[in-house]
Amino acid sequence: MSSGGCASTPVSAGPTICVLCSVLASTGSSPDEVRQILDTLSELEQERGVTGQVALMPLTETARGLRDVDAVAGHPRVGVMQLGELDLAAELGLAPAPDEAELLYARSRVVTSSAAAGLLPPVAAVSPDFTDLDGYRVSTERLRRLGFVGRAVIHPAQLPVVHDVFTPAPGEVAAARRTLAAYEAALLSGSGVMTDEYGRMVDEAVVRASRRIVALARVPRTARRHTHDVTTGLARAVLEDFTVGDVYQHTLGRTVTQTDNAWFALHTQNTAPLHVDQHYASQTEFGRPLVNSAFTIALVTWQSVSDVSQNVMANLGWDEVRLPNLLFEGDTVYSVSEVLETRQSRSRPNVGIVTVLTTGYKHDGTPVITFRRTVMVYRRGRGPSIPEVTSA
């Protein structure tokens, strides 16, 4: 059993916080071992007041582990599965050829079990050969086609290959986003089936594949990262100030209080006791109230205003909202946005349209929300003016 670190994004000058986000554990025997590991984790978490925060990544690398993979993947504390092929092949007596056909059953079994359990797609196994990178690329591309979304490595030379193979090309991402937009428009018109720009039929199955491509492209690039002061940065930014690929580390952070959670539920008429009833929440697996998710999206949107929409004409929508981890009272939330698309409005010459991917994360770097937000912003010199007041 080994730990997996989760490095946070620095939000100000000072040390970067690194915390335990997951534990990698070999599932060589039975689901009982997984339960024992999780019981130990739960005890440690309760001692430190972080119940339910650490996920488990089971490593399936034995025949018994492969046999029991469905039961292991179905545990609520399991975050993602990983396949270990070297030990498994040795136990089964496999001698994989260059096409790795001998490993197809094990690979497909782990992918299928992950999907059936509602998990993220699994992480593929390491390769001990870090000198033949061309062969490694062929193998990694094969794994991507089988349904894996990442691969463990044993040498830094393998990292660029893994990143390249599992990161969708810009054209692929753009096409997927167009498909999603067209499908949403078709649903609004009352149709669940449509054709894409190439005349091919698009239904929910094709849409799921498009959503997966977009999700894989969500890691913000750091080539052009900006941290702006609220008063002197990109306050009242106009269309011409945005460039696709820019990443904005929003300055303001906010600690969520019990009052925030209770008052937001009250004002929005949310009657779910999970947010406001301490006694009720203490009986759930979380042991305490969850922060209202509508408050989370509102807070992270507000944090991005000074950089993204201080000069907004109108919000056009929030898409692909995801809540990958839980948020509790007392957690501090920061956020970052990446510019995905900019263009001039086709109907209003004085404004443009900007789409950003915004991620809200806790002080330890754990993401709690991601969403795409599209806004109309004024073009330079085309928006309302704010009078400047000078002292006498």
The CATH number of the domain holding residue 9 is 3.20.20.60
Domain match, 194 and 232 both = no
pLDDT per residue as tens, the chain (392 positions): 444 444 333 333 333 334 455 566 665 556 777 778 877 877 777 777 665 556 778 888 889 889 988 888 887 778 788 988 998 999 999 999 999 999 999 999 999 999 888 888 899 999 888 888 999 999 999 999 999 988 998 888 898 899 888 888 777 777 777 777 777 777 766 766 677 767 777 777 787 788 777 767 655 443 334 444 433 334 457 888 888 877 787 878 889 999 998 899 888 898 888 888 889 988 988 888 999 999 999 999 999 988 888 888 899 999 989 888 889 998 899 888 888 888 888 888 888 999 999 988 887 777 889 999 999 999 888 778 766 666 55
Helix (H) or strand (E) segment spanning residue 69: helix 69-73
Instruction: Write the DSSP string, 17-48.
Output: PEEEEEEEEE--S-HHHHHHHHHHHHHHHHHH
The dihedral over CA atoms of 342, 345, 349, 352, expressed in degrees to the nearest 10, equals -30
Number of structural domains in the chain: 3
Domain match, 202 and 274 both = no
Is 298 within a domain? Answer: yes
Q: Among all chains, which residue has been given the structure tokens 């062929």? A: 138
Domain match, 8 and 38 both = yes
Q: Which residue range forms the structural domain that includes residue 202?
A: 170-216
3-state secondary structure 147-215: CCCEECCCCHHHHHHHHHHHCCCHHHHHHHHHHHHHHHHHHHCCCCCEECCCCCEECHHHHHHHHHHHH
Sign of torsion, CA 278 282 287 291? Answer: negative
**What pLDDT, on a 0 to 100 scale, did the predictor assign at position 12?**
33
d(CA 324, CA 79): 10
**What pLDDT, on a 0 to 100 scale, did the predictor assign at position 238?**
83
DSSP code at position 252: -
Is 372 within a domain? Answer: yes
Domain match, 88 and 206 both = no
Residues 6+ apart with CB under 8 A from 50: none
**What pLDDT, on a 0 to 100 scale, did the predictor assign at position 339?**
87
Domain match, 89 and 199 both = no
Is 105 within a domain? Answer: yes
Q: Provide φ and ψ at 73, rounded to 5°.
A: -65, -25
Structural contact between residues 315 and 333, judged by C-beta atoms closer than 8 angstroms? no
Is 314 within a domain? Answer: yes
Domain match, 211 and 241 both = no
Closest CA to 330 of 53, 17, 8: 53
Domain match, 211 and 91 both = no
d(CA 217, CA 340): 10
pLDDT in tens, 69-90: 888 888 777 878 898 899 899 9
Closest CA to 332 of 8, 93, 6: 8
Domain match, 284 and 193 both = no
**What pLDDT, on a 0 to 100 scale, did the predictor assign at position 15?**
36
Is 246 within a domain? Answer: yes
First to last CA, the chain: 69
Domain match, 187 and 318 both = no
Is 139 within a domain? Answer: no
**What pLDDT, on a 0 to 100 scale, did the predictor assign at position 129?**
87
Is 315 within a domain? Answer: yes
